[in-house]
Chains A and B, each alone.
Chain A
Amino acid sequence: MLSEKSLAKIARERAKYPANQARSALLAALRITQEEQGYLSDAVMEYVADLLGIPAIQVYEAATFYSMYDLKPVGRHKLCVCGSVSCFLNGSDAVLQHLSERLGVDPGETTADGLFTLQEVECLGACKDAPMLQVGDHYYENLTPESLDALLAKLRGGSDDVR
């Protein structure tokens, strides 16, 4: 189900923990799996359970507890707009509204072309550069309507900055 590259990454994570603590590699295995598969389906979770030799229930527990796992398909680019207090004080509601209008979706929804999912999230720890959002591996900070439009144009142009 997973590529050799992903399996090698998971093996590297597994090696960080004592021999009898395979479960410690679970969060990393789920992340690596999601990066490859797009989201965590039931079948994928059972596969990860077998891979680590742990019961599937333990995989479900973790996958449903942590906010970075997607249990359903999301857009190619997931725009995670921080709405916690320091961002709120610096106009995060306007950021969310701007993106919502541009994309024609409400927070929590995905555009019809499957390109964008818009999401409001809690504090991402970049409070001094508020307002901000995360796409994939990157933070975009001190957002303005202009920088948001530039970001959307960049992502529409085929960025690797996925989810």
Chain B
Amino acid sequence: MFVNGVTLQNRGLPDSHRLSVYAGTGGYGALRKVLLDPMAPDQIISEIKKSALRGRGGAGFPTGLKWSFMPKGVTGTKYLLCNADEGEPGTCKDRDIMRYEPHRLIEGMIIGAYAMGASAGYIFIRGEFVEPIHIVEAALEEAYAKGYLGQNILGTDFSFDLYVYRGAGAYICGEETALMEALEGKKGQPRFKPPFPASYGLYGRPTTINNVETFASVPGIITRGGDWFLSLGKPNNGGTKIFSVTGQVQKPGNYEVPMGLPFKDLLEMAGGLRPGRQLKAVIPGGTSTAMVAGTAMMEVTMDYDSISKAGSALGAGSVIIMDDSVCIVKAVERIARFYMHESCGQCTPCREGMGWLWRVMHRLENGQGREEDLQLLLDVGSRIEGRTICALADGGVAPVVSSIRLFREEYEYHIQHKRCLISMGVA
């Protein structure tokens, strides 16, 4: 199987974050090919389209199509942004790409900038990621020194400046327009769309934004071709994907595997469950995606289409494993707290609703649940979904509603017995 072969190819090498190590494994070869061979911007975009690469930040939007939305022939600056505001519970892959493969990200961005005619870019890294920030900043310096960034890159008339922007703590900045607001020094609150970033983005200029893993997939696609990347996965689900497998497994970690890998094989790679445990539930794409019952998950393959058929979403590939020692109500209460904390406060259904969901979950978990509470949670959820500017609120509703559907008896036990069905030790 093709494992850890695209964006985490060099993770095991000493000093893999250094330009010399990256270049020693063919790094910046794709950039040379694009600029010196040369490849026309349209050719690059059609190669990305052919690869079926989809946005790795969670939404799964086709990358080549997104790149083709950037207007041509406009005067003034066009921007390219990288979303490295990784913060969805269960997601820890972009941090490793930045720590181990910063140049792959940078090379992907330079190629993207050339394809879309962007002349400046920012890598928006969450502020808590101090170690990755320092590594990416050092990598940018190396890339400037080699002439891969700045004026007249590799002697051509293409110029591109790239900087790190440090976030300051807010999950919502992972929403692309909130990220742009934050970059402008404002509160990170999502904008109404349309207009979309390709026409009105950072500073009102045409802007494209992609996730770290998306950009880091680009050099491989350019070097080896879109067909190669597509063939690693399945049609409409091209390439490999990093799955962050966390929770109750023996070897939690980032596993980059071909799309379409059976879930049970991924679970085995992650060391399987702890001895004597049964798989209870899986959140396959980060906490904003619906929970799937363990038995159903064992039949799923790890790609957009299969997980969607199972009623959830691949999201950012953040696979959270829960075994039979977990109290589902307690776990979901914890997840609901996250969304209450992270709501930006802009839309009433979210600002009020996330608090409602958490408070009802909290009283259920603490033996104060009422008969009507399950219906109340479902009603509140249905009044939030689809009524907000961004997807945060829908993401906060999904774990609550899906877990009630799957584990209703466990919720009812809390109401009837005023305690958990499963004790998890420390309260």
Listed in ascending order, the chain A residues whose CB lies under 8 Å from chain B are 16, 18, 21-28, 30-31, 54, 58, 61-62, 65-69, 83-86, 88-91, 93-94, 97, 122-130, 134, 137-139
Contact = CB atoms under 8 A, between A and B. Distances in A.
Given A27-B166, A27-B185, A68-B127, A128 B87 contact: no
A18 B203 CA distance: 10
B89 to A, nearest CB: 4
Nearest to A20: B203
Most chain-A CB neighbours within 10 Å: which of B185, B245, B248, B425? B185
17 contacts: A31-B127, A65-B170, A65-B344, A69-B169, A85-B334, A86-B247, A89-B247, A89-B248, A97-B426, A125-B91, A126-B92, A127-B89, A127-B320, A128-B246, A128-B253, A129-B92, A130-B246
B168 A30 contact: yes
* Closest 10 A/B residue pairs (Cβ): A67-B169, A23-B185, A66-B168, A26-B185, A68-B169, A86-B246, A137-B130, A84-B89, A127-B246, A65-B187
Given A21-B184, A68-B169, A90-B248, 14 more contacts: A68-B128, A69-B168, A85-B247, A93-B425, A122-B87, A122-B89, A122-B171, A122-B341, A125-B91, A126-B92, A127-B89, A127-B318, A134-B128, A137-B130
Contacts of B203: 18, 21
Interface residues of B, number: 59
Contacts of B344: 65
A128 B320 CA distance: 10
A137 B131 contact: yes
A146 B95 CA distance: 26
B426 A91 contact: yes
Interface string B308-336: 00000000001011100010000100110
A16 B124 CA distance: 13
Contact of B163 (A16, A30, A122, A139): A16
A90 B90 CA distance: 12
A67 B338 CA distance: 13
Nearest to A88: B334
A27 B182 contact: yes
A44 to B, nearest CB: 15
Given A66-B169, A85-B338, A125 B92 contact: yes
Most chain-B CB neighbours within 10 Å: which of A28, A83, A91, A128? A128
A121 to B, nearest CB: 8
Given A85-B335, A93-B426, A125 B184 contact: no
A59 to B, nearest CB: 9
Contacts of A123: 87-91, 171, 338
A89 B168 contact: no
Contacts of B285: none
Contacts of B262: none
Nearest to A96: B426
A27 B167 contact: yes
B214 interface: no
B183 interface: yes
Contacts of B244: 127-128
A76 B199 CA distance: 46
B202 to A, nearest CB: 9
Interface string B59-87: 00000000000000000010000000011
B252 interface: yes
B312 to A, nearest CB: 15
A89 B424 CA distance: 9
A128 B131 contact: no
Nearest to A52: B185
Contacts of A23: 184-186
Contacts of B128: 68, 124-125, 134
B251 to A, nearest CB: 9
A85 B89 contact: yes
Contacts of A68: 127-128, 168-169
Contacts of A94: 425-426
Contacts of B426: 91, 93-94, 97
Interface string B231-268: 00000000000001111100011100000000000000
A139 B126 CA distance: 14
Most chain-B CB neighbours within 10 Å: which of A26, A88, A89, A94? A89
B427 interface: yes
A128 B96 CA distance: 11
Contact of B185 (A31, A62, A125, A137): A62
Given A28-B166, A67-B170, A125-B92, A90 B247 contact: yes
Contacts of B196: none
Given A18-B203, A68-B168, A84 B182 contact: no
